[in-house]
Amino acid sequence: MKKILALTLALGLSASLLAGCGGSGSSSGSADNAAGSDTEATAEDSAASEQLVMATNATFPPYEFVEGGDYEGIDVEIAGKIAEKIGRELKIEDVEFDTLIGGVQSGKYDMGMAGMTVTEERKQSVNFSDTYATGIQSVIVPDGSSITTVDDISSETKIGVQQGTTGDIYASEDYGDDAVTQYKNGADAVQSLIAGKVDCVIIDNEPAKSFVEANEGLTILDTSYAEEDYAICVSKDNEELLGEINDALGELKSDGTIDSIVEKYISAE
């Protein structure tokens, strides 16, 4: 027992001497582990900060749509150019349109870009960039419809819209909620029009042209329902990013990049 006790004391003394000379061996190991964790966390934070996360609703050609498994469209290409200008990698999140502003507001996404019109109601939740495109709200009707102009639409008309869009907002304000049927996307609204469940669909002119081209028996009224400016929404807490986006948009407008992208998808005729 004495030998064991003596050996134990000797080992303890040696450990103490080593600790005194070289610092705490066990704590240095913990520090290494902590440093490793910190490094991993920093790397993750760095990777996140190098991304520009754009929320969109990719059912809105020619502004955003999916083709061959890839995101395509005017907004997608402009966003890519903005990301290049500010030195980030673009990441796209495809979400329901009516959840987009809330996601940007909460910081889940850096920006929202989905053929989005600036409205006073939306400005209460998010900030908007400078305008980058002009949109027209059009009315799709079946061939031979009694609705021949916008003036023929009334509170008795069954109107189909994509939920959360300005077509939804304007139609509800103009004709009342009872006249408006909301759909998750424009394609669903158009299918209901074909099935006779609604009398017309109010939607952006460019998607309207795509839907009419893809479905026989539909036409777009000659008179537009509304005209509006498209912009990018950003959290009110991210003024720095808003400034970077506006600077990038200014350069892309000046050098003709935005016009070139728009002309690629929309005929000048």
DSSP-based three-state secondary structure for 112 = strand
**What is the pLDDT, as a whole number, of residue 116?**
93
Say what the pTM is: 0.68
Q: Are 89 and 51 in contact (CB under 8 A)?
A: yes
- Give tens-digit pLDDT for 210-238: 999 999 999 999 999 999 899 999 999 99
Please state, as a whole number, how many other Cβ atoms lie within 10 Å of the Cβ of residue 84. 14
CA distance 200 to 223: 14
Residues 33-40 have a mean pLDDT of: 45
- Report the pLDDT value the prediction gives residue 265, as an integer from 0 to 100: 87
pLDDT at 95 over 80: yes
Neighbours of 194 (CB within 10 A): 16
Instruction: Domain 48-132+231-265: give its CATH superfamily.
Output: Periplasmic binding protein-like II (3.40.190.10)
Q: What stretch(es) of the chain map to CATH 3.40.190.10? A: 48-132+231-265, 135-227
Q: Under a CB-based contact definition with an 8 Å cutoff, are residues 84 and 141 in contact?
A: no
pLDDT given at position 97 = 94
Q: What's the rounded Cα separation, in Å, for the pair 233 and 122?
A: 9
Residue range 1-33, pLDDT digits in tens: 333 333 333 334 333 333 333 333 333 333 344
- Strand 64-67 with 70-72, pairing: antiparallel
User: What's 135-227's CATH class?
Assistant: alpha beta
